[in-house]
């Protein structure tokens, strides 16, 4: 594989590794993603049990019940649990994070054809760390791995990134109180306001098994799904263990794969320490309802 992605990530704020998984490997994860989705649909509304989370909505665009995202399904799916700490994953992360690595996020995102809200405004993921004081080196050593589980391009809302601006720190994009899925899909003026030329935006195209990597300070977003095909993206966030002594699930210790333990470690959402669940969140899927933590979980 080499370390080309290390240089590209440090310089541009993102990198893409083509063919990270082979056809059989990505097909297996695609099948398991369908099982995770079906598990989510068993719930009548958004469901939380510690880190495990299914966002369940009645989509006003398609008129169907949908699961836009799920978190920490690795607790209930052994295939994803093995993938999150696989040797291939370690080989990508080790040159960047070293041999001791924790995992903060484990997410699946589905953009369904016909859905009303299938775009993400340009943003930086560092905004979703509720206790940044509990982490160190978030600018360099907190990395998102986005694995394409199907063909992804502009038509079904593939990831878009802006190279280089991760070096500028936090720029307060999409902080107008509505969340990153509320507002104009045309974001040229928002980018210009923070000194970004909209022509700098790079539209990624990814085949099944391709892997994108970006930092918490990388400006990114995505357009709507206007195709007849879904977009299915697996996102895992990893940190150097010494930078996160109090948060995260172990993925690798001294280079060795570490399975999940007997009980979940609350990773991101501090309120779960007081109320870990299980519980349902009865919410309406409207513009007015999307400014809270539920939508801010999206990546």
Q: For residue range 139-154, what is the model confidence (pLDDT) as tens digits?
A: 999 999 999 999 999 9
Burial, 257: exposed, middle or buried (Cβ in 10 Å; 0-12, 13-18, 19+)? middle
User: Could you read off the pLDDT of 194-234 as tens digits, one per residue?
Assistant: 999 999 999 999 999 999 999 999 999 999 999 999 999 99
Q: Which two tokens stand for residue 246?
A: 């109090």
Pairing type for strands 46-49 and 279-281 reads antiparallel
pLDDT value of residue 61 = 87
State the chain's mean pLDDT as an integer: 91
Q: What is the pLDDT of residue 285?
A: 55
pLDDT in tens, 251-260: 999 999 999 9
Residue pair 106/236 in contact by the 8 Å Cβ criterion: yes
Q: Are strands 14-17 and 211-215 parallel, antiparallel or unpaired?
A: antiparallel
More confident residue, 220 or 184: 220
Tell me, what's the pLDDT at 182?
A: 59
Torsion of CA 200, 206, 209, 213, to 10 degrees: 10
User: Which sequence spans correspond to the domains of the chain?
Assistant: 4-296
Query: Are β-strands 65-71 and 52-58 bridged in parallel, bridged antiparallel, or unpaired?
Result: antiparallel
- Global pTM reads 0.94
Lowest mean pLDDT among 155-164, 209-218, 262-271: 262-271
Q: How far is CA 283 from CA 42, 50, 110, 176, 276, in A?
A: 17, 19, 19, 21, 19
Please state at what angle helix 87-97 crosses helix 4-12, rounded to 10 degrees: 50
Distance CA(85)–CA(251), nearest Å, equals 5
d(CA 173, CA 153): 23
Q: What percentage of the chain carries pLDDT values higher than 90? A: 79
Asked whether the beta carbons of 215 and 144 are under 8 A apart, the reply is yes
40 or 117, which is more confident:
40
pLDDT grade for 277, boundaries at 50, 70 and 90: very high
- The domain defined by 4-296 folds into Jelly Rolls (2.60.120)
């Amino acid at each position: 594989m080499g370390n080309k992605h290390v240089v590209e990530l440090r310089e541009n704020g993102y990198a893409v590794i083509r063919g990270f998984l082979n056809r059989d490997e990505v097909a297996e994860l695609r099948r398991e993603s369908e099982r995770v989705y079906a598990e989510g649909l068993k719930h009548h509304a958004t469901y939380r049990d510690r880190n495990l989370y299914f966002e369940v909505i009645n989509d006003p665009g398609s008129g169907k019940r949908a699961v836009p995202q799920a978190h920490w399904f690795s607790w209930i799916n052994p295939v994803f649990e093995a993938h999150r700490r696989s040797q291939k994953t370690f080989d990508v992360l080790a040159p960047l994070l070293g041999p001791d690595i924790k995992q903060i996020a484990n997410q699946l995102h589905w953009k369904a054809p016909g859905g009303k809200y299938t775009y993400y405004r340009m943003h930086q993921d560092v905004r979703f760390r509720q206790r940044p004081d509990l982490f160190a080196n978030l600018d360099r050593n907190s990395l998102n791995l986005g694995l394409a589980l199907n063909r992804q391009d502009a038509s079904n809302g593939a990831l878009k990134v802006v190279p280089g601006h991760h070096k500028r720190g936090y720029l307060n994009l999409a902080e107008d109180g509505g969340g990153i899925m509320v507002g104009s899909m045309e974001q040229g003026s928002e980018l210009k306001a923070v000194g970004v030329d909209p022509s700098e935006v790079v539209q990624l195209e990814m085949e099944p098994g391709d892997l994108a990597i970006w930092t918490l300070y990388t400006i990114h977003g995505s357009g709507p799904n206007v195709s007849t095909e879904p977009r299915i993206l697996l996102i895992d966030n990893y940190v150097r263990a010494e930078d996160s002594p109090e948060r995260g699930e172990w993925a690798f210790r001294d280079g060795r794969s570490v399975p999940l333990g007997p009980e979940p470690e609350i990773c991101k959402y501090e309120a779960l320490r007081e109320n870990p669940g299980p519980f349902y969140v009865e919410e309406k899927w409207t513009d007015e309802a999307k400014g809270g933590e539920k939508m801010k979980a999206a990546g």
